[in-house]
Amino acid sequence: MQYISTRGGIAPLSFTDAVMMGLARDGGLLLPQHLPAVDHSTLNLWQQMSYQQLACAIVSLFIDDIPQRDLEDLIDQAYASFAHPQVTPLRREGDLYILELFHGPTLAFKDVALQFLGNLFSYILAQRGGFMNILGATSGDTGSAAIAGVRGKKGINIFILHPHGRTSPLQALQMTTVLDANVHNIAVRGTFDDAQAIVKSLFNELDFRDQHQLGAVNSINWARVLAQVVYYVYAYLKLRKNGHGSVDFSVPTGNFGDIFAGFVAKNLLPAGCLHTLILATNANDLLTRFVHKGDYSKGQVIATSSPSMDIQIASNFERYLFYLHDERGDKVQADMEQFTQSGRLDLSRFRTRTAEDFLSHSVSEEDTIATIASFHQAHGYLLDPHSAIGVKAAQVCRNASRPVVCLATAHPAKFGAAVCKAIGSEPPLPPALADLDKRESRCEILDANVAAVRRFVAAHALAA
């Protein structure tokens, strides 16, 4: 399996080269040259597998330059730290299914991919030698999960940017209380979109990138998306075993990475198995406007109780745009140049095709809090605000003839203020979070400009 750029400007790469490159050198995102597909006989075999075995079977379809035994070991190591034996358990609550993705070390869905990616980086560096300086931006959970995946690892430094004061307090503490020498937290005075733009800008400075061997952990890295494909298939197989041949998924998303993994899963499975992806947004409704109107235009970032979705530039959207343009990198390049200049794309001509993949609903702040309250009252089950957005969108958009799986992306204790507003009390803190506010914290606060971050990275990066 070879990998290409959405913008068509690089020669095909192996999987391990794609992992280490992160962002394509032409500024695009990396994708496999073709999306593999399986038949029902393969699903019959997969249905008997554990999560780890299924993960190995699926990612093997996209990886041909890592020996099978090594891949099995990487996956087993990745999920050994998860608190639930099924890794991403599926449970029924009323007429919805909840896919719990928060049983990893930082209690968020990003652990599913970043524990695997951290192991991949170490494995590839051990094979090739050298070092890397990881540079990433986070709207909340990616940072702590990425840090947990590589803290203390030889030959790796990590620099994580987050928007100062715009994550939940626990999200910030999960990052800044990790004091390993290879971990560097940077709080930028701005939004996640500002932080993400700085990261992309530094990756596009090719001399700086090469000098410091920059690596990517954001979902611009294909391995992030690939690892997330697995839990869609895992949940589908659970319901298939119970006689459901066609299933919908409701996905709270701001950066389009998690739902793009669902799009890959939909194309991997036989036609109709994964029927509809319900794209759930908060008040930052960029992606909902795209689905409903073909209007992909950035606006002002609105701060909400679901900060991981407070995004107005969805970096993974470019991957979906590649397929809308029938895999024409030149057309993607032109669109992204236009978006950079104007902040808007008119994609209304694709509305019919988009409707084959997505429904969408934007959930207000009031409805988010109300959904946490009503779902808890009805089922005794506590949702974090991001997961509540997925549940509300499912309630609005679902087709009663098919089961719908709602992705629960974070533990509710990470968003105690929102939960308290909904039910009158904060959820009990799990042991991993209980004493964070008492730990020593370390973080550099910088202006949201490329020069300031470039100087900091250059001063603290690993060197040859």
Single-letter residue type at 20: M
HSE-up (13 A, CA, CB side) for residue 359? 17
- Pair type for strands 156-163 and 295-297: unpaired
d(CA 182, CA 156): 7
Burial zone of 152 (CB within 10 Å; 0-12 exposed, 13-18 middle, 19+ buried): exposed
Single-letter residue type at 179: L
Looking at the DSSP bridge assignments, the partners of residue 163 are 188
Choose among 447, 449, 427, 451: nearest CA to 168.
Answer: 427
Residues in the chain: 464
**DSSP-derived secondary structure letter, 107:** S
> Count of CB atoms within 10 A of residue 174's CB?
26
Q: Is 110 a catalytic residue?
A: yes
Single-letter residue type at 287: L
Choose among 90, 447, 77, 440: nearest CA to 236.
Answer: 90
Per-residue 3-state assignment (H helix, E strand, C coil) for 133-170: EEEEECCCHHHHHHHHHHCCCCCEEEEEEEECCCCCHH
42 to 48, 237, 357: CA distances (angstroms): 11, 11, 23
The answer to whether 254 and 23 have CB atoms below 8 angstroms apart is: no
Q: Which residue out of 110, 238, 266, 392 is catalytically annotated? A: 110
Concatenating the DSSP letter of every residue in 193-245 gives: HHHHHHHHHHHH-HHHHHHHTEE--STTSHHHHHHHHHHHHHHHHHHHHTT--
d(CA 225, CA 112): 10
Q: Catalytic site residues?
A: 110
